[in-house]
Every structure is written in C-alpha cells, then in structure tokens.
Amino acid sequence: MTETISSTPPAVVSALFEHVADRDAAIAHFRGRLGFESDVSDVAAALAEADHGFVLVDTRSDAAWAQGHVPGAVHLPGRRIAVEAAARIPAGTPVVVYCWGPGCNGATRAALEFALLGHPVKEMLGGFEYWVREGFAYDTADGGAELAPDALTNVAAAGLGGGAVADGAITCAC
C-alpha cells in the first residue's frame, strides 16, 4: 500500500523542527558529509574496481587487525600515522580510513591525521563492524572469513528485498 502525503504543509510543526537549517545550509551540510564519509557498501564496490585509486587504511590496534580486517587494507594504527604514513603511502594519495565501528572515533582521528599530511581522505562509516555485518569477506590471522549478512544492515543480501546483489557486490538497500 502506498501512503499519500498531503501537498499542503502541516498546520502544526513538530518541536523537532523548531530549529532546522534552511535549504541552502542543509544542502551544504549533507553535500559536505558526502565529501568526508562513505559507507561500507560503496567502499566494497570501489575496491572491486581494478584501479580504485585510493588506499584503504585500518587504523586499529595490532590485536584488532589480527582478529579481522578488510582484504587489501593497509594496517596503520592511528597513533602511528603522523610518523609512518609518509614512508608507507605516497603523498597526495587518496585514503579511506576505518576503525572498529560507529561507536569509535578512531577513524575520525586518523582521517584528521591524514588530512594534516595533505591526503584527500574519507572515513568509512560503520567501520570493520559493519563490513562484517554486511556480509563482506575479511581476513584474519588464521585466513579468510565471511559471515552471513545481518538482515538489519543489508536486507538485500539477507534475501529480504531492497538493494541488488550484482557481480558479487552488495549494494546498499536504502
């Protein structure tokens, strides 16, 4: 069933919208966020390209890296970026960083370090947690691994409709 919404604005506006950005500010804000962030599905799709044009950096600890990481990622813990990045990642190379998950700001701090070094940089929203939850393969100290997609994060891959699965790449179901 399709719900119809009136073309007339409501007479009473929720308190939630007492303070809301105007159109131009909203456009600038959300366009800006897209310049700083990407989700795991978009990163996975980009990594599947032969020449994806960026370096994916796992900014977590050695123990977390051994537990699991995105295949092809470079391991460079956040606290070592300022000292080691120049020797490991060519200047000006675009970088996508990730940490554990949405409850951790390690990737945000790492993105700042890469920006200070002059790299174009984005943060992978959801981090390694959502990489695994969306059903993407990952590497561990003991070899490769993969879990079934979590239906709460990727309804298409879980067989519940939504986005498409094409050439093995899962697309966002939103």
Encode pLDDT of 61-119 as tens digits. 999 999 999 999 999 999 999 999 999 999 999 999 999 999 999 999 999 999 999 99
68: amino acid identity, one letter: G
The verdict on residue 154 lying in a domain is no
Number of Cβ within a 10 Å radius of residue 39: 16
Q: Which two tokens stand for residue 30?
A: 């959300």
Q: For residue 52, what are the CA distances in angstroms to 74, 119, 136, 172?
A: 15, 16, 17, 19
Asked whether 108 and 95 are in contact (CB, 8 A), the reply is: no
How far apart are the C-alpha atoms of 32 and 19, rounded to whole Å? Answer: 20
Asked whether 124 and 107 are in contact (CB, 8 A), the reply is: yes
146 vs 25: which has the higher pLDDT = 25
pLDDT band (50, 70, 90) for residue 154 = low
Give the CATH number for residue 38: 3.40.250.10
Average pLDDT, the chain: 88
The verdict on residue 2 lying in a domain is no
Number of domains in the chain: 1
pLDDT score recorded for residue 153: 78
The verdict on residue 168 lying in a domain is no
Task: State the residue range of the domain holding 53.
Answer: 30-146
The pLDDT tens digits for 5-22 are 767 777 767 888 888 899
The verdict on residue 167 lying in a domain is no
Contacts 24+ apart (CB under 8 A), 86-91: 86/117, 89/55, 89/57, 89/119, 91/117, 91/118, 91/119
How far apart are the C-alpha atoms of 110 and 36, rounded to whole Å? Answer: 12
